[in-house]
């Protein structure tokens, strides 16, 4: 299924950071949504800022408009505030994109665990992300760092406990 672009993507003003405050809020919301859905569609978990500028997300060749570097930074900052983005370095050149927040992942995983009635069992991280049983689940193929964060979120919620074992980490769900 090819990615469906939102209507704003063909609207030239979309690529100019709007000075009117109210208009800008709506614009940024649309950008965040677009960026996240694009990453979700292509299963992108990290973004390089330099590459992003050339990526079709921020660069619509058809209408010959692209977001300025300044505007991209503003969008990323907005994502970070919402909890969907984490900078990997101080220079803000690479970031982790969490098109689903850790809490949301955690919830999904816990739901599945409850569904199959395996609460109080211990799972290895590998089992969760790459096990045969989880194939078809959305969190299948989830990258380790993301999975860990999700479980940490559950842990903070009291719904799981991360256990360190000889050959890696495991988790017990409550």
Partner 1 sequence: MIYYFMFYLDVGVALLSTHRLIWRDVKNHECCIAMPLSQILLFEEQAAGIGKSAKIVIHLQATPANKEPGPYQHSKYSFIKLSFKEHGQIEFYRRLTEEMTRKRWENTPASQPIPIGTGSQAGRTRAVGIVGIERKIEEKRKETDKNISEAFEDLSKLMVKAKEMVELSRSIANKIKDKQFGLRSYLLSMGIADPVTRETHGSGTHYHMQLAKQLDDMLQAPLEERGGMMALTEVYCLVNRARGMELLSPEDLVNACKMFESLKLPLRLRVFDSGVMVVQLQSHSEEEMIASALDNVSDKGSLTAEEFAKLLGLSVLLSKERLLLAEKMGHLCRDDSVEGLRFYPNLF
**Contact residues for partner 1 (CB under 8 A)?**
7-8, 11-13, 15-16, 18-20, 22-23, 26-27, 30, 64-65
CB of 4 to partner 1, least distance (A): 18
The strand pairing partners of 161, in sequence order, are 172
Query: Which CB sits closer to partner 1, 13 or 56?
Result: 13
Distances (CA, A) of 138 to 4, 73, 107, 108, 164: 20, 29, 12, 8, 25
CB of 39 to partner 1, least distance (A): 22
Provide the 8-state DSSP code for 9: G
Query: Which CB sits closer to partner 1, 58 or 105?
Result: 58
CB of 8 to partner 1, least distance (A): 8
Distance CA 28, CA 35 (A): 10
């Amino acid at each position: 299924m090819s990615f469906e672009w939102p209507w704003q993507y063909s609207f030239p003003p979309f690529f100019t950071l709007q000075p009117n405050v109210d208009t800008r809020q709506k614009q940024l919301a649309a950008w965040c949504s677009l960026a996240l859905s694009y990453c979700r569609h292509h299963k992108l978990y990290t973004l390089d800022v330099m590459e992003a500028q050339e990526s079709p997300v921020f660069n619509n060749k058809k209408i010959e408009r692209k977001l300025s570097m300044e505007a991209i930074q503003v969008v990323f900052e907005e994502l970070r505030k919402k909890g969907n983005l984490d900078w990997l370095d101080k220079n803000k050149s690479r970031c982790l994109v969490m098109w689903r927040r850790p809490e949301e992942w955690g919830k999904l995983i816990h739901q599945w665990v409850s569904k199959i009635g395996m609460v109080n069992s211990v799972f290895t991280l590998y089992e969760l992300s790459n096990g045969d049983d989880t194939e078809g689940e959305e969190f299948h193929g989830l990258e380790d760092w993301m999975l860990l964060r999700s479980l940490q979120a559950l842990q903070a919620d009291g719904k799981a406990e991360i256990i360190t074992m000889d050959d890696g980490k495991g988790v017990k769900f409550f």
